[in-house]
Amino acid sequence: MAHDVIVLGVFAGDAIFEAARLPVMGETLLGDSFSLGPGGKGSNQAIAAAKAGANTAIITRLGDDAFGQLAHDTWEQAGVVPLVRVMPDESTGAAFIYLEKGSGRNAIIVCPGAATGLAGEDMDAQAEAIGGAKVFVTQLEQPLEAAQRGLEIARAAGVTTILNPAPAQHLTDEMLALCDILTPNESETEILTGLPVRTLEEAEAAAYALHQRGPKHIILTLGENGALWYDGQHMRTIDPMEAGPVVDTTGAGDAFNGGLAAGLASGADMRESLKFATAVAAISVTRKGAGLAMPSYADVAQFLNRSNM
């Protein structure tokens, strides 16, 4: 069965600690709350796309452990099809997430575990699935080799490619040229371009510089300020949306990318898909957690209907 959206990425068990501030080295703090749930950028994006209505599969590696079982349980509930290689002697990914009490801002440490071994061979093994998709999405929590090979297979098959360049790192022009859509945030853009992104004018200059390196569309996400879209001809701002009080921003970028993939896979144009993605992200930050915070298609449709009234 062909899938609308294929996501390459990492699953991680998220250990979320909420506190007023981060401890300094050698200090112990009492936190306000703790929770354990599903995370990892690739998994979050796959869940977001699936819940937003796209027939979605994820390519990754897991360990044969409790977090691996959490991954399967989570994907089954969300409707994500696992295209997974289980590594019995390795652990599933895990993440430490600090959540700042009151603001919802976060700081994260990710250990990809078994997914650290993802390679070109994993992509070649799933070449038929990738080539049969409408949209292929990847990020940079797994090795670059796997991400680039996945993009190559998708591009050769005429599949729309989305690269969310996170965590931030330097990328070759060869890899960027494989991207139909590049979706960095401000800090990722600064690392990719060497340019500051503190104002809208600076963001526009950075988006132009990135486009010159090969991607067809630059979607520079600006957090509470929305996003900037440059397609080589027009520079457009995407207005932010507010769905309620901000509780947790951990999965906001993943919600946006998954929603964008789902929108494009449904046949919507870029403008409508960006509006849809913005709504998915807006709803996600009103809920705690990452994968568990992703809204359903019905949630998004209801929110957009209210917003248009």
Distance, CA of 204 to CA of 196 (rounded, Å): 11
The sign of the CA dihedral 238, 168, 27, 93 is: positive
The Cα 214–Cα 176 span in angstroms is 6
Token reading at 78: 């969300």
Cα–Cα distance between 8 and 140 in angstroms, integer? Answer: 9
Question: CA 208 → CA 101, 139, 219, 223, 306, distances in Å?
Answer: 37, 21, 11, 19, 34
Contact of 145 with 121, CB cutoff 8 Å: no
Which entry of 4, 180, 254, 269 is annotated as an active-site residue?
254
Distance CA 29, CA 135 (A): 44
283's tokens: 């709803």
89 is a catalytic site residue = no
HSE, CB side, 13 Å, CA atoms: give it for residue 99: 26
Helix (H) or strand (E) holding 302: helix 297-308
Instruction: Tell me the H-state helices in 194-251.
Output: 200-211
Residue 245: Cβ within 10 Å count: 8
Catalytic residues: 254
